[in-house]
């Protein structure tokens, strides 16, 4: 790679940055985007897609930049996934006065994982329904990738399929980006409808009537400096190293070691291990790094909020790049099965979350459900957004439980992800659908059993 190539890459990032900022401006000034809570990256990404070579082609920039954008999500997802274990803490934090509430963690993990597995089952089940259309091998994985994984995780799918030299990798990544867009928009709209229903029927603990959504949540920024939240703790001093740079360095080290390990496995053609994706190795390496830091009592150097901001920055650029490079013509060829898959995904996700959270969680069931709905159709912050609508000041203990269950769920989700991408190619779509369905039911059984153990057989739900 030459200096000119790096300079050209930096220029292409400049274009992404410009449209990301344009998305922020549009979100802050256009009511329909405020009401639907569409993220700035999604707005900017679609605008760049429309103006780019795949649509009206009026941007005076090289078309090669958009080929780079299609590859960028697969690269950026590696540090995003690698960051998941860093700062992981289970059972720590302040003790909650409501011990029953803390017992909701395991049932909620079961519900979250159950929904994720059932989304894979719905996706591959849709593949079976439209088998006469000659769909590519992994069509259907995109529902679980887009809904629970989000736009950033679409890059994981593209990364794996591209690494296998499969010709449809960009189409599949585009379909996953499409389902992620449907997921985040539809999930928020469904969430707002449920919040209004719950407020009117006395199912919310904090919100007694449908309330106006605070302006900062709608426009996407807080004007009052005194009310702006802190990014996190400054764990290192700039006289040595900037805190953000320190956290980024830990993440990059994990990524670098992961690539070394993967190359070693491929060089010596180690069975199974040579076919594992680099992001999976990155997560394993980070678990080891974080374990060593805890063993040496260096955990004070890591702040989860700072880590989240670093990985969140990568995710923002992965999202806008994935949308800007969406292969419209290829995705349009599958629009009917995509729509069927998404609608079934909405129905299954909403029903399972509503029924199981109401039936098997004790205390603040709706707040926990609405947060998990956001996570199951978008990303972690979507869950926070919905939670803040029905609990503006986050007075309920739902946030702590949701955060902990999300962390555990995301680790297990990424651990199983490679299985559901590879299985249809090795064992067939029908087998994959059955395995996903079995795992989903199994996770929901875990929810039922753990709820009975913690709350007793006489607990009848809320």
Instruction: Establish if 231 belongs to a structural domain.
Output: no
Assess if residue 143 is contained within a domain. yes
**Does the pLDDT at position 187 exceed 80?**
yes
The confidence score (pLDDT) of residue 93 equals 45
Write out pLDDT tens, residues 212-224: 567 887 788 999 9
Domain extent for 249: 23-212+242-455
How many Cβ atoms from other residues are within 10 Å of residue 67's Cβ?
14
Residue 298 pLDDT more than 90? yes
Per-residue pLDDT, averaged over 328-354, amounts to: 96
Judged against a pLDDT cut of 60, whether residue 210 lies above it is answered with: no
- 189-to-136, 193, 385, 458 alpha-carbon distances in Å: 31, 6, 12, 35
Residue 98 pLDDT: 47
- Judge whether 381 lies within some domain: yes
More confident residue, 32 or 246: 246
User: For position 44, what pLDDT does the model report?
Assistant: 96
Three-state SS annotation for the chain: CCHHHHHHHHHHHHHHHHHHHHHHHHHHHCHHHHHHCCCHHHHHHHHHHHHCCCCCCCCCCCCHHHHHHHHHHHHHHHHHHHCCCCCCCCCCCCCCCCHHHHCCHHHHHHHHHHHHHHHHHHHHHHHHHCHHHCCCCCCCHHHHHHHHHCHHHHHHHHHHHHHCCCCCHHHHHHHHHHHHHHHHHHHHHHHHHHHHHHHHCCCCCCCCCCCCCCHHHHHCCCCCHHHCCCCCCCCCCCCCCCHHHHHHHHHHHHHHHHHHHHHHHHHCCCCCHHHCCHHHHHHHHHHHHHHHHHHCCCHHHCCHHHHHHHHHHHHHHHHHHHHHCCCHHHHHCCHHHHHHHHHHHHHHHHHHHHHHHHHHCCCCHHHHHHHHHHHHHCCHHHHHHHHHHHCCCCCCCHHHHHHHHHHHHHHHHHHHHHHHHHHHHHCCHHHHHHHHHHHHHHHHHHHHHHHHHHHCCCCCCC
Rounded Cα distance, 143 and 182, in Å: 10
Asked if 356 and 444 touch (Cβ cutoff 8 Å), the reply is yes
Percentage of the residues of the chain whose pLDDT score is greater than 70: 95
The whole-model pTM stands at: 0.81
Angle between helices 278-295 and 151-163 (to 10 degrees): 120
What contacts 117, CB < 8 A, 6 or more positions away? 144, 416, 436, 437, 439, 440, 442, 443
Is it the case that residue 292 has pLDDT exceeding 90?
yes
The pLDDT value recorded for residue 271 is 83
Region 34-45: what's the mean pLDDT? Answer: 87
Residue 90's pLDDT is 53
Q: Tens digit of pLDDT for each residue in 414-443?
A: 888 888 999 999 999 999 999 999 999 999
* Mean confidence (pLDDT) of the chain: 89
Confidence of residue 36 (pLDDT cuts 50, 70, 90): confident
Lowest mean per-residue pLDDT among 37-41, 262-266, 371-375: 37-41
**Number of domains the chain contains:** 1
CA-based end-to-end distance of the chain = 61
- Whether 18 is in a domain gets the answer no
Residue of 212, 202, 151 lying closest to 176 (CA atoms): 151
Give 131's Cβ-side CA count (13 Å radius): 7
pLDDT at 380 (0 to 100)? 77
Residue 279 belongs to some domain of the structure: yes
pLDDT beyond 80 at 272? no
CB 19 within 8 A of CB 43: no
Provide the pLDDT for residue 403. 79
Instruction: Compute how many other C-beta atoms are within 10 angstroms of the C-beta atom of residue 403.
Output: 15
Q: How far apart are CA 38 and CA 218, in angstroms?
A: 10
Per-residue pLDDT band for 152 (boundaries 50, 70, 90) equals confident
Average pLDDT of the segment spanning 322-329? 92
Task: Kindly report the length of the chain.
Answer: 462
204: Cα separation from own chain's centroid: 26
- Residue 156: band (very low, low, confident or very high) from pLDDT cuts 50, 70, 90: confident
Q: Is the pLDDT of residue 263 over 90?
A: yes
Average pLDDT rounded to a whole number, residues 245-259: 97
pLDDT at residue number 94 = 46
Residue 9 in domain: no
**Span 77-93, average pLDDT:** 77
CB atoms within 10 A of CB 211: 15
Contact (CB, 8 A) for 447 and 357: no
Higher-confidence residue of 104 and 345: namely 345
How much is the pLDDT for 382? 81
| pLDDT(21) > 80 | yes
- Range with lowest mean pLDDT among 11-15, 148-152, 337-341: 148-152
Q: What is the mean pLDDT of residues 245-252?
A: 97
Contact 377, 145 (CB under 8 A): no
Burial of 158 (0-12, 13-18, 19+ CB in 10 A): buried
What confidence score (pLDDT) does residue 213 get? Answer: 66
Give the contacts of 201 (CB within 8 A, at least 6 positions apart).
none
Rounded average pLDDT over 150-173: 88
Residue 127: predicted pLDDT: 97
């Amino acid at each position: 790679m030459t200096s000119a190539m790096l300079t050209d890459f930096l220029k292409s990032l400049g274009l992404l940055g410009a449209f990301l900022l344009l998305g922020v401006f549009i979100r802050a000034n256009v009511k329909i985007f405020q009401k639907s809570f569409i993220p700035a990256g999604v707005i900017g990404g679609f605008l760049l897609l429309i103006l780019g070579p795949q649509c009206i082609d009026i941007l005076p920039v090289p078309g090669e930049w958009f080929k780079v954008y299609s590859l960028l999500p697969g690269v950026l997802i590696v540090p995003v996934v690698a960051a998941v274990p860093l700062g992981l803490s289970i059972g720590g934090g302040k003790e909650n006065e409501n011990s029953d509430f803390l017992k909701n963690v395991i049932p909620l993990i079961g519900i979250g994982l159950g929904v994720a597995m059932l989304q894979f089952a719905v996706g591959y089940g849709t593949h079976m329904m439209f088998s006469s259309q000659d769909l590519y091998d992994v069509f259907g994985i995109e529902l679980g990738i887009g809904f629970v994984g989000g736009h950033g995780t679409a890059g994981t799918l593209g990364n794996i399929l591209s690494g296998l030299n499969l010709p449809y990798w960009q189409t599949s990544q585009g379909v996953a980006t499409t389902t992620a867009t449907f997921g985040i928009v539809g999930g928020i709209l469904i969430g707002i409808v449920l919040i209004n229903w719950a407020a009117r029927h006395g199912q919310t603990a904090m919100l007694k009537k449908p309330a106006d959504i605070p302006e900062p949540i709608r426009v996407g920024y807080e004007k009052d400096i005194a009310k702006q939240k802190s990014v996190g703790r400054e764990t290192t001093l700039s006289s040595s190293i900037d805190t953000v740079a320190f956290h980024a360095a830990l993440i990059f080290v994990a990524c670098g070691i992961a690539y070394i390990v993967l190359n070693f496995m491929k060089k010596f053609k180690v069975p199974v291990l040579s076919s594992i994706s680099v992001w999976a190795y990155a997560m394993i390496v980070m678990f080891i790094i974080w374990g060593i830091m805890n063993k040496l009592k260096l955990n004070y150097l890591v702040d989860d909020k700072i880590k989240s901001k670093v990985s969140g920055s990568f995710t923002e650029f992965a999202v806008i790049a994935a949308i800007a490079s969406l292969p419209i013509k290829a995705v349009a060829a599958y629009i009917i099965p995509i729509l069927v898959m998404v609608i079934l995904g909405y129905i299954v996700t909403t029903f399972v979350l509503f029924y199981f959270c109401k039936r098997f969680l004790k205390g603040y069931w709706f707040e926990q459900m609405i947060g998990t709905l956001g996570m199951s159709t978008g990303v972690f912050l979507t869950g926070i957004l919905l939670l803040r609508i029905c609990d503006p000041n986050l007075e309920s203990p739902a946030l702590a439980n949701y955060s902990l269950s999300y962390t555990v769920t995301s680790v297990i989700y990424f651990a199983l992800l490679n299985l559901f991408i590879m299985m249809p190619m090795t064992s067939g779509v029908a087998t994959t659908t059955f395995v996903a369905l079995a795992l989903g039911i199994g996770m929901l059984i875990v929810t039922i059993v753990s709820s009975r153990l913690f709350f007793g057989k006489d607990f009848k739900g809320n």
